[in-house]
Structure 1
Amino acid sequence: MTKLTRASGQPPYLRIVAGIRRRIMDGELGPGDRVPSTRQIAKEWGVALATATKALTTLRLEGLVETRPRIGTVVAGTAPAAPSSRQSPSAPPSEQELTLDRIVRTAIDIADTEGLSTLSMRGVAARLGVATMSPYRYVPSKDDLVLLMADAAFGDETYPADAPEGWRARIELGARTLWTLYRRHPWLAQLGSLTRPLLVPNLMVHSEWILSALDGHGLDPTTLFDIHVLIYSHVQGLAVHLEWEAHAEATTGQSEDQWMDSRAPVLQELVESGRFPTFAKMVGAFNDGYDLRLDVLFESGLKALLDGLTPIIEG
């Protein structure tokens, strides 16, 4: 661990800035590469989180780093190509025939990289290099476009012809497949609710997979469907936070770590109030802070859920 001293009379945060700046100038960190988070800096350099935050802020003001939605703090410059389930055609859009599939896939790319809230018919047309009203010849409204996007996105993953043995293995595969799709397209989890579900064919493919895994175990239709909804709600319920966090980061310019660091005084006040002793004990037990890992929560929650359902399904 690197420890900073005040022997040189230079503030610790400036020495951190100099160290990261040197790594950028030497090419060790290139454009688009992630730089250490505030917690990583605090641990590596042996400083307080506030000092680490000040160092990153200084680098950002110098234009050396920038915050990008869904990525974090990276070296400023040309970003790496955004992942997409399908590559955009290499020929200029104006030279290609406009199709519904191109409109939908372009809209998906926008939602994946910039968030669903930024999507507009005008923006899709601009990305395609066509007249503003051209997409309306294929899809009447943004709401209709979003339904087509959802159907296409849910269709990015399918299931093997030979189903795994056992109901549990099939449900685990179904839940993990949905989680993969939500990870790839975070905006998907924002569409529909349990009370007003999204009725598109490719989402029904995933529902059919879960329902068929539960069928044949003597469950009455209501219980079977309740279990199906419960499993889906576990996946979607965690996945909604993917887009929320990306939107919050884009709006505030702060990563999750940076936002938590900014709330440190409020957290400390709650801990020291004496009103929440168990909470205070838990906070004190985290040496390097608590990391909210959605992938881990998904897996542990799925296991606990299926463990609890086993007596009902097999009973």
Structure 2
Amino acid sequence: MTKPTGAPDQPPYLRIAGELRRRVAEGELAPGDRVPSTRQIAREWGVALATATKALTTLRLEGVVVARPRAGTVVASPAAPTAPARRRPAPGPGSGPATDQELSLERIVRTAIEIADAEGLAALSMRGVAARLGVAVMSPYRYVPSKDDLIQLMADAAYGERGYPADPPAGWRPRLELGAHTLWGLYREHPWLAQLGSLTRPLLVPNLVGHGEWMLRALDGHGLDPTTLFDIHLLVYSHVQGLAVHLEWEAHAEAATGQSEDQWMDSRAPALTELVDSGRFPTFTKVVGSFENGYDLRLDALFTAGLNALLDGLTPLVEGRTAGATAP
């Protein structure tokens, strides 16, 4: 366990921030390098997660580090220490330190989204949100009663970041494609979003229902009975969400293990060799052996290929019902 450096009368978070600041100043951590996560700091220094969060928040407000979506907290570039990782709708007063008087529900929700984008949903806590905003621990509770309520608000805000044109494209298929690609883009920007809700216990927030409204309107008027129409909507949605959940899983696994996807696969080479050499799986062995440089898992390509195949399969159902409905 590392002991925080600095004056012994300093709060632990300031001593931790001082040690990380020293590592940056002396070149141990270069611009773009990941700094220890809140969990790594808590484990290394033997402090609470809230203390770790406060240390990183201190450095962020100083411009020493910056949160990067899916990369975590990294050393800021001297040229642009506070450059945002992604353009988003302006959050209003800004995301810097706030007094309790300046605090608002919008700022709390936007700050929580920034934490989840950069560090994953597991790193989100009400205490961490308060620390990043620079307000008292209990202040956010005046606006939102619990973390669960906060996540609902985060989801609604994130789903509301993208909408649809007032004049939709012609044809049911282009409309479904636009809806699916819009959702995929949101999950790409906010990987934690796909972890919320399921087909059996859906997330009922207005802006997600708005995406469903777009998909249902694309299918309405084609002679489909309500059950079939809704089944098709769920099939398309589950394809998008089903692939998107792997975005957050991979980010979490990389943060937990310190290994990239390729590094993890390399470390499992002996297990793969054992399976191939067993002779029990000849087709698997033939396919795997045909890759010159290994299989490149491309989620974006899988999403597009799967969507096209799904819509190809649905075309006779949708257009066949339309033909039947319009026949004399």
For Structure 1 versus Structure 2, the TM-score category normalised by the shorter chain is 0.7 to 0.9
Q: Is the 8 A contact 2:276 2:285 kept in 1?
A: yes
CA distance in 2, matches of 1:101, 1:90: 10
Amino acid of the residue matched to residue 145 of structure 2?
P
Instruction: Tell me the amino acid that sits aligned with residue 78 of structure 1.
Output: A
Q: Which residue of 1 aligns with 2:225?
A: 220
Report if the CA contact (8 A) 1:69-1:250 is conserved: no
Instruction: Find the partner of 1:78 among 71, 76, 79.
Output: 76
Q: Tell me which amino acid in the other structure corresponds to 1:275.
A: R
1:85 deviates by 1.9
Deviates more, 1:180-189 or 1:77-86: 77-86
- TM-score, structure 2 as length reference: 0.73
Letter in 2 for 1:233: S
1:193-204 pair list within 5 angstroms: 193-204=198-209
CA contact (8 A) 1:112 1:185 kept: yes
Deviation at 1:199, TM superposition (A): 0.3
Listed as ranges, the matches of 1:249-288 within 5 Å are 249-288=254-293
Task: Check the 8 A contact 2:116/2:192 in 1, yes or no.
Answer: yes
2:107 matched residue in structure 1: 102
User: Helix, strand or coil for the counterpart of 2:238?
Assistant: helix
Distance (whole Å) between structure 2 residues aligned to residue 95 and residue 143 of structure 1: 22
Task: Tell me, in whole angstroms, the C-alpha distance in 2 between the residues paired with 1:92 and 1:157.
Answer: 28
Question: What residue identity is the alignment partner of 1:306?
Answer: L
Q: Does 1:121 align with 2:119?
A: no
Partner of 2:168 in structure 1? 163
Shift of 1:159: 0.2
1:92 Cα deviation from its structure 2 partner: 3.8
Q: Does 1:302 align with 2:300?
A: no
Distance in 2 between residues matched to 1:128 and 1:84, nearest whole Å: 20
Q: CA RMSD in A?
A: 2.2
Cα distance per residue 1:199-244 (max 9 Å; x no partner): 0000011000000000000000000000000000000000000000
Q: Report the CA distance between 1:81 and its aligned residue.
A: 4.4
Q: Which AA in structure 2 matches 1:120?
A: S
Judge conservation of contact 1:69–1:249 (CA < 8 Å) in 2: no
Contact 1:84–1:109 (CA under 8 A) maintained in structure 2 = no
Tell me how far 1:179 sits from its aligned partner: 0.2
Give me the TM-score of the superposition, normalised by structure 1: 0.76
Distance in 2 (alpha carbons) for counterparts of 1:77 and 1:113: 14
Pair 103,84 (structure 1): closer, same or farther in 2 beyond 3 Å? farther
For residue 177 of structure 1, report the CA deviation from its aligned partner: 0.1
Q: Within 5 Å, which residues of 2 pair with 1:1-315?
A: 31-32=31-32, 70-71=70-71, 77-78=75-76, 81-83=84-86, 85-86=88-89, 89=94, 92-94=97-99, 97-315=102-320
Q: State the distance in 1 between where 2:291 and 2:96 align.
A: 53
Q: Distance in 2 between matches of 1:122 and 1:95?
A: 14
- CA distance in 2 between counterparts of 1:90 and 1:253 reads 29
CA positional deviation for 1:94: 3.0
Number of equivalences:
251
Q: Is the 8 A contact 1:104 1:148 kept in 2?
A: yes
Which is further off, 87-96 or 110-119? 87-96
Contact 2:95 2:133 in 1 (8 A): no
- Secondary structure in 2 aligned to 1:160? coil
5+ residue gaps, structure 1, are 1-29, 35-67
